[in-house]
Amino acid sequence: MKKLSALAVPLLAVLFALAPAVAAQANTYQDEAVAALQSEHLYVDSSVSLGDRGAVTSALEGSDVGVAVLPSLAVDSLTPSSFAREILNSTPYDTLIVILEGNQQPLSVVYKSAPSEENAKAVYEILTENGNNIDQALVPIIDHLKDGDNGSSGGGSEAGSGVGFIILFGTLFCLLLIGVTYMVLRFVKKDSSGTVRAKHDTVPNKISETVPSKLHPLIKQLTELSQQHDRLSERGLGTDLRTIVRNMQELFTRLSKKGTNGQRGIAEVEYIDKLTKLNEALGESYYIDIVNKPTLWDKAETRLDSVVEAVYAVQSQLIENIKQVNASEDLKFQVSLNSLVGASKATNVKDIYTPDLKRKNN
């Protein structure tokens, strides 16, 4: 699910210079989607299809959610989430779902006001629960997003202000209750090192022998990163990383019982690649640094979104692989993280100034 979000703007500029026809085509897709979404909640490009359009249209009525269905080539050099965000910013909706037919990241959801991590994650959980079938999951996803709308219709001024006061008071009370509960849990759940741990949110102390030895150091690194993410003030992914570690061990445990040597070998190569790239993107030099020092990074939110989407994509693929092993099916891998690593390896200040410093020293 992840692309060159960090380099999207400069790469797009290069492509405009070298391949104007392709860039123009990408703009055409974007422009047509924006134009259609000004008056309709749903836009489906003529070259692609959507399941039950009637049900989707009905689900979108009265909401602040828009849906655009496009071919994968529409995104050109942008990441799907960056492409979707550009469309969203030119439409009247609070939330936009972009579906890219034939793309490795077929679904992107972007918001004008940042949702909570739980609400954003729920979208991809709904997709996973529906077997990654977008036609089947789209209406439940829309319903979930509608439930999260902040807007409400009011009546007369007195009634509206009274209801508004009650809602505001209730919201503040709930927030206070959540805050108190959170602080209590922090003191109760802390271990001797001061790291907060949820009661059921743990990983095995020892990596299963069924997991190939080459994956062991990568899994240990991901586990250590999960602890670092627990300490982030916001946008930490500790729970999600531990879910990946648990399901990774579950996958190879089941492969040892029901899978073939060929499947085990393919899964080993696949997840060595995935964990190597995730560890690099999630670490102190990229994701953690962006969270802690967002003002030092361009397009900080887009970069963070790309990493979060990568984590959710690997989570979903692991679940699908486990299901495939259970059903004695061939393993299928559809998640590519190549461009995510490209973004995390972007040139830094040290790279730029080292030659000049050497010249001065000489």
Residue 54 shares a structural domain with residue 86: yes
Taking residues 25-36, what's their average pLDDT? 76
Burial class (CB in 10 A: 0-12, 13-18, 19+), 354: exposed
Residue 245 shares a structural domain with residue 273: yes
- Asked if pLDDT for residue 116 goes beyond 50, the answer is yes
Counting the structural domains of the chain, the total is: 3
Collapsing DSSP states into helix, strand and coil, what is residue 152? coil
Domain that residue 176 falls in: 163-196
The reply to whether 289 falls in a domain is yes
pLDDT at 355: 43
Residue 256 shares a structural domain with residue 226: yes
pLDDT digits (tens, 9 = 90+) for 151-204: 333 333 333 334 344 445 555 556 666 665 555 555 444 443 344 444 445 555
Secondary structure letter of residue 104 according to DSSP: S
Residues near 193 by beta carbon (within 8 Å), at least 6 away in sequence: none
Residue 291 shares a structural domain with residue 357: yes
Q: Of 62-71, 200-209, 228-237, which gets the smallest average pLDDT? A: 200-209
Q: pTM (2 decimals)?
A: 0.44
CB 99 within 8 A of CB 72: no
The reply to whether 147 falls in a domain is no
Residue 236 shares a structural domain with residue 299: yes
Residue 217 shares a structural domain with residue 189: no
pLDDT at 67: 93
Residue carrying structure tokens 């990493």: 307
Taking residues 48-56, what's their average pLDDT? 84
- Name the pairing type of β-strands 95-101 and 65-71: parallel
Give the domain-ending residue among 114, 132, 151: 114
The reply to whether 148 falls in a domain is no
Between 140 and 154, the more confident residue is: 140
Residue 185 shares a structural domain with residue 281: no
The reply to whether 129 falls in a domain is no
Residue 172 shares a structural domain with residue 266: no
Contacts 24+ apart (CB under 8 A), 291-299: 291/232, 291/233, 291/234, 291/235, 291/236, 292/232, 292/233, 298/6, 299/5, 299/6, 299/8, 299/9
